């Protein structure tokens, strides 16, 4: 989510204080999305405490990836963010396929 926000957002260089809110909202939205996706992917786990633990791990993983977006954006610009976004989509698709696919008998 932070990648998409940085791609869509054009910073205001004349008023740097106004640049904080969109990035903060996108970052918190990304953390929430990480927890929700981890909760949904861990649906087969019946114990709610273990499921909550997995959701917290999803939030922490999202925070790590969020920390990578700013250096990627500064080093490679839009191409770096698009690459990270594609990598995240591929990881989600792989996790969805591996964890949620029905077992074949």
Tell me the pLDDT tens digit for each residue of 50-102. 999 999 999 998 888 888 887 888 888 888 888 888 988 898 888 878 877 75
Max distance between CA atoms of the chain, in angstroms, equals: 63
Scanning the structure block, which residue is given the tokens 């191409």?
79
> Looking at the whole model, is its pTM more than 0.95?
no
* Contact yes or no for 24/11 (Cβ under 8 A): no
Can you give the residue ranges of every domain in the chain? 2-6+19-100
């Amino acid at each position: 989510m932070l990648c998409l926000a940085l791609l869509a957002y054009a910073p205001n260089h004349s008023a740097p204080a106004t640049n904080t809110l969109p990035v903060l909202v996108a970052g918190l939205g990304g953390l929430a999305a990480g927890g929700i996706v981890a909760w949904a992917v861990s649906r087969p786990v019946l114990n709610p405490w273990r499921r909550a633990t997995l959701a917290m791990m999803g939030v922490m993983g999202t925070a790590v990836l969020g920390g990578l977006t700013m250096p990627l954006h500064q080093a490679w610009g839009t191409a770096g963010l698009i690459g990270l976004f594609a990598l995240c989509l591929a990881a989600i698709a792989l996790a969805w396929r591996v964890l949620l696919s029905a077992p074949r008998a």
